Structure 1
Amino acid sequence: MEITFTEQAIGKLTERLIDKETLIKLRYETEGCGCVVSGVPTLWIVDQQEDDDIIIETNFCSVAVERTKMVFLDEKLKIDYVESANCYSLKSPNQILNPRMMLIEKRESTNESKA
């Protein structure tokens, strides 16, 4: 799997004090979706990878992806920032997987989740 961040996404992530040492998780969120096939990709800022995660090196920072959810993602992915919607998008050459992807803080050092 190949994941690339656009310059716009890198700029916005850097504003959030995210750098090359930060671990971002591309989470395939299925809670409340009714079916695992109806999941929604979301970005999480995390402290560490989980047992089922695979680490993908990108042009910006490492991204953890759940091994069991990789089947729902394409081989080449691009993460962009959408200024007009104040969110991120996840695209592949074949489709838009999430045009309004949230970035959620999940680090324990913050003591709470925030978008």
Structure 2
Amino acid sequence: MSVNITFTEAAKQTLTPIVAKSGRQLKLNYDTDGCGCLVDGVPALWLVDKADEDDVVVETNFVPVLVERPRLIFFDEEMTIDIKPGTTVFQLKSPRQILNGHMPLVEVTAGHER
């Protein structure tokens, strides 16, 4: 399965200085911590130092985004990352649904995944 991720102009404007300053990569993670089982999870936007061995790179209209290959099945084929107006919280949407309407940008340090 392949996914297509598009960033809105508002999301790009917010993320550009963060990504440029940090020199890190964006990762769209399917976070299952505390959810009970692997099929119950929440999409999360992470800022990471490097790709994990099972990550794939998804080209976007902004910067490439990492996604764990085994977790691709939990995402829709067409997705948009937007920012919630008046906040620093992102939203992950598809034509069919809102996958996460309150998605903070999480800085993940090596060996300290959330």
2:6 & 2:99 partners in 1: Cα distance?
14
Aligned residue among 89, 92, 95 for 1:93? 95
TM-score, structure 2 normalization = 0.86
Q: Is the 8 A contact 2:27 2:48 kept in 1?
A: yes
1:32 maps onto 2:34 in alignment: yes
**Long gaps (5+) in structure 1:** none
Equivalent AA in structure 2 for residue 55 of structure 1:
V
Equivalent AA in structure 1 for residue 57 of structure 2:
I
1:96 & 1:83 partners in 2: Cα distance?
15
1:87 & 1:81 partners in 2: Cα distance?
6
1:11 maps onto 2:8 in alignment: no
How far has the Cα of 1:48 moved from its partner?
1.0
Q: Percent identity?
A: 46
Q: Is the 8 A contact 1:85 1:100 kept in 2?
A: no
1:68 & 1:47 partners in 2: Cα distance?
20
1:27 & 1:53 partners in 2: Cα distance?
10
Aligned residue among 58, 61, 66 for 1:64? 66
2:40 & 2:75 partners in 1: Cα distance?
12
Change in CA separation of 1:58 and 1:71 when aligned onto 2, cut-off 3 Å? same
TM-score, structure 1 normalization = 0.85
Aligned residue among 83, 89, 96 for 1:81? 83
Deviation string 1:50-98 (CA, Å, 9 cap, x unpaired) is 1110000111111000011110100011000002443000001111100
Deviation string 1:17-65 (CA, Å, 9 cap, x unpaired) is x14x642000100010012221000011111111110000111111000
How far has the Cα of 1:107 moved from its partner?
4.4
